[in-house]
Structure formats: structure tokens, C-alpha cells
Amino acid sequence: MKKTFFLAVALLATAFTSNAADVKANWDQHCAKCHSADGKGQTAMGKKLKAKDYSDAKVQDALKDEELLKAIVEGVKDKETGKGLMRGYGDVFTADENKAFVPFIRAFKK
């Protein structure tokens, strides 16, 4: 019984660690070029597209988890022009991978 319990805990810990590593790798590959590795958006493309500074508590407090997830899945368009600012990743990542970005982004808050 104890062996089974410890095996289950080890498997869950491995899965969680793997998921955390996966979301960081996905962020680095697909998001950091605009949002930067630290979430501040201070890259050339981030500045051009006016990417939000996810380390700013005011920015974080103004965003709901559902809004973040919708932007990740569907993308973001300029409200005035309708021009695409960020592509959606609903067709790139699984639903769980997309959801994993929300707490990852929340962790940038200072």
C-alpha cells in the first residue's frame, strides 16, 4: 500500500514538473519574442505591438483568467482596426497546454 502511494505521488510530481517545464519551453519558443522571457514585453516586437507588462500588478489585476485564456486560444485583435496583434494558439497547443499559460503568466506579477 505504501509503495503504491509513493509511486502515485512520484508520478504526479513528475507530471507536474514536466508540465511546468513544457509551458516554459512553449513560452520561450512562441511567446517570448514579443512578451519577453520575463513577461515585461520589452522586445522590439513587444514594444511595436504594445504588449502588456505582465510583471505589473495593475496589468495583472485588470485581467481575468478567462480573458487571458481567450487571448491565448483565439488571439488578439486591435479593437479599432481589427488588425491581428497576436495569433491564437488554439490549434497549436492542447487545451491543457493553453490553460497552463494562465498561471505561468500570473507568476510574472511582482
The residue extents of the domains of the chain are 2-106
Query: Which residues does 31 contact at the CB level (< 8 Å), separation at least 6?
Result: 101
pTM for this model (two decimals): 0.79
pLDDT > 70 in the chain, percent = 81
From residue 34, alpha-carbon distances to 9, 49, 51 in Å are 37, 8, 7
pLDDT > 90 in the chain, percent = 79
CATH level 3 topology of 2-106: Cytochrome Bc1 Complex; Chain D, domain 2 (1.10.760)
- At 29-38, the pLDDT tens digits run 999 999 999 9
The predicted structure's pLDDT at residue 110: 84
